[in-house]
Amino acid sequence: MRQLLILILAVISLQACNKPPEKKIVEIKGIDPSLRPGDNFFRYANGIWYDSAQIPSNQAGVGAYMFMNFPQRMRLLGILDSISKGDFPKGSIEQKVGDFYASGMDTAAINKLGYEPIKPIFAEIDAISDIPSLMKYVADAAKVYNNSIIGFRVSPDDKNSSMNIASVHQTGIGLPERGYYFKLDSSTTTIQQAYKKYLTTLFKLTGSPSAEAVMNTEMIYDIEKQIARSHRTRVELRDVKANYNKMAVSELEKMHPNIAWPTLLNNLGAQTDSIDVGQPAYYEKLNELLSTIPVSDWKVYLKAQSLTNFADYLSQPFVDASFEYSKILTGQSVPKSRGEIITSAVDRNLGDALAQLYVKQYFPEEAKKRMLVLVNNVQKAYAKRIDNLEWMSDSTKIKAKEKLDAITKKIGYPDKWKDYSSVEVNRDTYFENIMSARADSYQRQIEKLGKPVDKAEWFTTPPTVTAYNNPSANQIVFPAGILQPPYFDNEADDALNYGGIGFVIGHEFTHTFDDQGAQFDKEGNVKNWWTEEDYTKFKSKTQQVIDLYSTFTVLDSMHVNGAMTVGENTADIAGIAVAYDAFKMTEQGQDTTKLGGFTPDQRFFLSVARVWKVKMKDEFLHLWLHNNSHSPPMWRVNGPLMNTTPFYEAFSVTPEEKMYLPESERITIW
């Protein structure tokens, strides 16, 4: 009898262990009952929070999405503050990140140096005597990412994605993009004047008399304005094929004798006989300007480039000057704390080392397992949606599904961490630590040239709240940082997780098939896999997205740039649709039982709205509209939901409500 009782208890215990953990009921707060969901769902779901939320004075915004990186930095700061007080073996990751942080926090030592750290750079510039020596300096400076007129990188060949090639892109300007040099509206002219004031202040801080500093600034601004005329706009830069111009170095040498490509590449350490010139017009203009602008003027320009590149790593007056300019761009009223600033510097320069410490403390492996289930379910739902497309032929559907099946999924953190053994870090040499890390990063990049692409490499640090699609490797990446509420909660119900991180997953899958991603095949090569008729239909549908989003207004009269944001908007529209389909495959998705006062479908769509719960300064929103490929947060909710029929059904949206679109006008691409 006793043995039987033990057996029964063992069976009960085993059943209990195999039983899935019960999900907590996450209450959805902040609903504004005075609003109709179909008038402005972003405001309905987030309005009470939005009206009461206070943006910290040292931030440009608050809430979810990119602004979740502020509390992330506080977590990282806590790790660094603790580690920096310990005693760790020389060369260990703890020693490197701890001493790097400590060196940046030693403001007394940094302030004592003034601009001493960049005097050797100024001496190199002063030694320039002609165009060849100028270009030699430009190449040497690029090896520590003190970039100026050459935008060099090593990256996968768009038409042979398994191999790395040398490529160059347009660069050389200090304002955010070319339009800032030519617009005459009050907001832009305020930014222009702030930028000029910034340059003038930097020159004064290095000892230039006031009149000379002003003269230098006007000279530099004129050079940059000439350069800006050759730049492509952000919309033009979306043209994948136009940005691929692989040329023989021997051909470029004839076209641009002043640049002297063979010598330049040799000085960069880039042994290659061909290079992808992303924007040829820029390098044509640069070749011309090298002969028409006096070398003496170029030397002043290069000093300004060095000052703006390194200002944040110098003494407090330089840091203050940098902030005074940035606050005009972002609306941020006071500087970030020194701890937050240095934490960001460690993350940029020794990101994988710091991430290893973060993952150990903050990322549970159970989250990775459930996340993989979500990703796989969204992928299955995507395959079904492709099967059911009415506008696409069967032959193209086969290719699309092959590409979908070939996508690599990366979750949490990389399998192999970057090695920082070559980075020299000491507690009392902040500027030198920065330079050592930059030199190491450049060397890591140059060593890739002409070699097979490492598709296991990550291009963001794991603690960062983001996700991305890498079309040249046909992969989607979800760092540990985004796997937290409101995006992901391992203990929450499926409705919240599919409406949150499920939406993000669907969004990243769709980038494989947006206006740019659709031009890459399953191997990551720019290659047509469409029938001509299907691609024409696809372009027609993306044009619908452009046209719709171009009608959305922000800050009273400014419009969303539909052409610049079309890829992200396409990914939002399809991302919600496919996440909803995946949710309907779950037990909760097939149920109608209310939880916390809302049906499963309502909880799904409320979760969609919560992940873009963001409030930002008007100045930052202005900067966003001109430079960000994403629509502002409100339109990342309302825009796609206007095109999502299940949303209408979940909240009984009627034709009288402002978000209503007739079903025939709702955009369905994927």
Tens digit of pLDDT for each residue in 146-162? 999 999 999 999 999 99
Helix, strand or coil for residue 415? coil
Tell me if 297 is assigned to some domain. Answer: yes
Question: 127 and 240, same structural domain?
Answer: yes
Q: CA-CA distance, 138 to 301, in Å (whole number)?
A: 12
In this structure, the number of other CB atoms found within 10 A of the CB of residue 242 comes to 13
Question: 387 and 291, same structural domain?
Answer: no
In 497-616 the beta strands, taken as DSSP E runs, fall at 553-554, 558-559, 614-616
The domain that contains 224 carries what CATH number?
1.10.1380.10
Tell me if 354 is assigned to some domain. Answer: no
Question: 386 and 291, same structural domain?
Answer: no
With a cut of 60, say whether residue 17 has pLDDT above it.
no
Question: Which of 313, 339, 362 finishes a domain?
Answer: 313
Question: 300 and 383, same structural domain?
Answer: no
Tell me if 661 is assigned to some domain. Answer: yes
Q: Which whole number is the average pLDDT over 378-401?
A: 98
Quote the tokens at residue 549: 């989003």
Question: 384 and 238, same structural domain?
Answer: no
Question: 260 and 170, same structural domain?
Answer: yes
- Residue 467 and residue 508 in contact, taking contact as beta carbons nearer than 8 Å: yes
Question: 299 and 219, same structural domain?
Answer: yes
Of 362, 371, 454, the residue nearest 414 (C-alpha): 454
Q: CA-CA distance, 425 to 91, in Å (whole number)?
A: 8
Q: What is the pLDDT of residues 251-262, one digit of tens each?
A: 999 999 999 999
Q: CA-CA distance, 633 to 46, in Å (whole number)?
A: 11
Tally of domains within the chain: 2
Quote the tokens at residue 302: 């290069």
- Confidence grade of residue 516 (pLDDT, cut at 50, 70, 90): very high
With a cut of 70, say whether residue 213 has pLDDT above it.
yes
Helix, strand or coil for residue 491? coil
Of 188, 189, 190, 215, the residue nearest 200 (C-alpha): 215
Q: How many CA atoms lie within 13 A of 414 on its CB side?
A: 17
Question: 603 and 495, same structural domain?
Answer: yes
Question: 397 and 255, same structural domain?
Answer: no
Question: Which of 266, 294, 313 finishes a domain?
Answer: 313
Q: Which tops the pLDDT comparison, 233 or 555?
A: 233
Q: Over the chain, what is the mean pLDDT?
A: 95
Question: 252 and 131, same structural domain?
Answer: yes
Q: Which whole number is the average pLDDT over 200-219?
A: 98
Q: What is the pLDDT of residues 277-332, one digit of tens each?
A: 999 999 999 999 999 999 999 999 999 999 999 999 999 999 999 999 999 999 99
Tell me if 390 is assigned to some domain. Answer: yes
Tell me if 98 is assigned to some domain. Answer: no
> What pLDDT does 591 receive?
96
Alpha helix segments (H runs only) across 56-118:
69-83, 93-105, 107-113
State the residue range of the domain holding 559: 378-406+489-665
Question: 395 and 272, same structural domain?
Answer: no
> What pLDDT does 25 receive?
82
Q: Which whole number is the average pLDDT over 231-252?
A: 97
With a cut of 50, say whether residue 10 has pLDDT above it.
no
Q: Which helix (H) or strand (E) holds 470?
A: strand 468-470
Tell me if 64 is assigned to some domain. Answer: no
% the chain with pLDDT above 90? 95
The domain that contains 498 carries what CATH number?
3.40.390.10
- Confidence grade of residue 47 (pLDDT, cut at 50, 70, 90): very high
Tell me if 44 is assigned to some domain. Answer: no
Q: What is the pLDDT of residues 619-637, one digit of tens each?
A: 999 999 999 999 999 999 9
Tell me if 340 is assigned to some domain. Answer: no
Quote the tokens at residue 296: 């003496």
Q: CA-CA distance, 59 to 174, in Å (whole number)?
A: 22
Residue 46 class from Cβ within 10 Å (0-12 exposed, 13-18 middle, 19+ buried)? buried
> What pLDDT does 11 receive?
36
pTM surpassing 0.85? yes
With a cut of 80, say whether residue 404 has pLDDT above it.
yes
Q: Which whole number is the average pLDDT over 64-89?
A: 96
> What pLDDT does 475 receive?
98
**String of b and e for 304-338 (b: at least 16 CB within 10 Å)?**
bbbbbbbbbbbbebbbebbbebbbbbbbbeebbee
> What pLDDT does 7 receive?
37
> What pLDDT does 23 receive?
62
- Confidence grade of residue 20 (pLDDT, cut at 50, 70, 90): very low
Distances, alpha carbon 326 to alpha carbons 321, 342, 431, in Å: 9, 17, 21
Q: What are phi and psi of 130, to 5 degrees?
A: -160, 180
Question: Which of 295, 313, 331 finishes a domain?
Answer: 313
Question: 289 and 212, same structural domain?
Answer: yes
Angle between helix axes 316-330 and 186-205 (nearest 10 degrees) is 180
